Structure 1
């Protein structure tokens, strides 16, 4: 029987990018289910039946109490029906099995506020956050991004740069202290950075749309299997998604699809 990569995309409580993320997984070759968070909390769906967890973007809980903080508390503390464990226990088992997690925008905020990123010491301690953009407004624009090719990140293997849109009001990445930032840099966990036209990391607006420290747009954990980013790869899957598709010769597949293809290839090689 042919083995299939199974992806799950979490919906509910204000997410609104789940269909685009599911389509990205489908194009990359995975069988994908969009699952409401309630189905996990009631025990009708179990994460262990999947290989690739996607936390999609949107306006989770209306961004009340800070970006994704309410959602993070739900995942950390809400019990699964019929079990004494919270959903985070199931999530830790999922990660411990060598599976993949990607959080985009609100999903990135969730991973950070749950302590799953960067998890430098392996504990669920929050050491960084994502807060209001320096511009003090919602930013909807396309950004140049450079990739740390020495990063262990599974999703960016073979990539040097990307061009993706951001759509957020709270995307400024900051750390608890400089030691955390230094460890992130030294371990090549700062996977993705906002770049200027010369391909260099920048703090200058609007190339850096939110003022993130060290121009950080995305980070991974030490295994490279948990990845969070503010730009939306699911929003650039086909050349017609590009803002200049009528004026430039572009490949048929959009740059964002490559992240999902890398994930599927990794799972096929390592887990099936």
Structure 2
């Protein structure tokens, strides 16, 4: 494991303007979007609440029935888990529920057409965003998809990632950081056949080879973002690593931190949306 924290990070909640006892609404709405089989929504909801978002729970049936339009939502988060038990392949059933339902498809299209929105897909949600072609819409049918791990098995581990210089709204302030994070997936390999510069890679596994690179992703990619930095697809679970005690190991000298640097990613989303 490798860790490198930026000198500016104090680990104190107050320095990130976090209030775990907040009772009032903030006026910034984030939607947890999930399907049957999603299992990472509670950790994500709390991370968003702690960052200062008003969090609403949106199930796929809300989208397919038209009960939810996301018109009042600024931040859409597609959570991790195993939608439809991965029977159709990771996130393929979830994607089908959007692509082949007129109401759900229109809601997602309208959300991504707005200039004042952010989105995040974690693990199964990352697979969904890649399956729907929402990270690189300019690529059309050539949009990369997620592939099976080269190990041909499910991988669950705590490992290190590094944040390179990037344009992601959520991660660009963490450039130069190396952090521990959890992974848990069977189809987590980014297959990126073009030049590395074409993919806006926002996080990389520290090591080239297995098991440090748990899936064999090209360019060690752990997360990629859209050209404008607003939409982030990430296989590791940053929401499961926002507190030091959630880490399998955390540098001893920093164990009195209230939160880890991963919390800054959610704060960055909050601050960007405040300006819109």
TM-score with structure 1 length normalisation? 0.86
Instruction: Find out whether 1:262 has 2:268 as its counterpart.
Output: yes
CA change 1:141–1:212 in 2 (3 A) is: same
CA change 1:28–1:209 in 2 (3 A) is: same
CA change 1:188–1:61 in 2 (3 A) is: closer
- Within the candidate set 96, 106, 114, 2:132 is matched to 114
**Which region of structure 1 is more displaced relative to structure 2, 65-74 or 47-56?**
65-74
The CA deviation at 1:40 is 1.7
Query: 2:161 matched to which residue of 1?
Result: 145
Give 1:2-13 correspondences, 5 Å limit: 4-13=27-36
- Within the candidate set 218, 237, 240, 1:232 is matched to 237
1: distance between equivalents of 2:253 and 2:125?
A: 32
RMSD value, Cα: 1.9
Moved over 6 A (4+): none
1: distance between equivalents of 2:25 and 2:97?
A: 36
Instruction: Find out whether 1:218 has 2:236 as its counterpart.
Output: no
Say if 2:188 and 2:235, in contact at 8 Å, map to a contact too. Answer: yes
Say if 1:66 and 1:131, in contact at 8 Å, map to a contact too. Answer: no
CA change 1:126–1:258 in 2 (3 A) is: farther
1: distance between equivalents of 2:89 and 2:25?
A: 44
Instruction: Find out whether 1:243 has 2:243 as its counterpart.
Output: no
The CA deviation at 1:195 is 0.7
TM-score with structure 2 length normalisation? 0.84
1: distance between equivalents of 2:25 and 2:131?
A: 38
The CA deviation at 1:120 is 3.2
2: distance between equivalents of 1:167 and 1:92?
A: 29
Query: 2:65 matched to which residue of 1?
Result: 42
CA change 1:144–1:7 in 2 (3 A) is: same
SS at match of 1:240: helix
- Within the candidate set 89, 93, 97, 2:114 is matched to 97
SS at match of 1:163: strand
2: distance between equivalents of 1:2 and 1:15?
A: 26
Structure 2: tracts of 5 or more residues without a match: 1-23
Matched residue count: 249
SS at match of 1:71: helix
- Within the candidate set 173, 179, 183, 1:158 is matched to 173
The CA deviation at 1:245 is 4.8
1: distance between equivalents of 2:187 and 2:159?
A: 16
Query: 1:135 matched to which residue of 2?
Result: 151
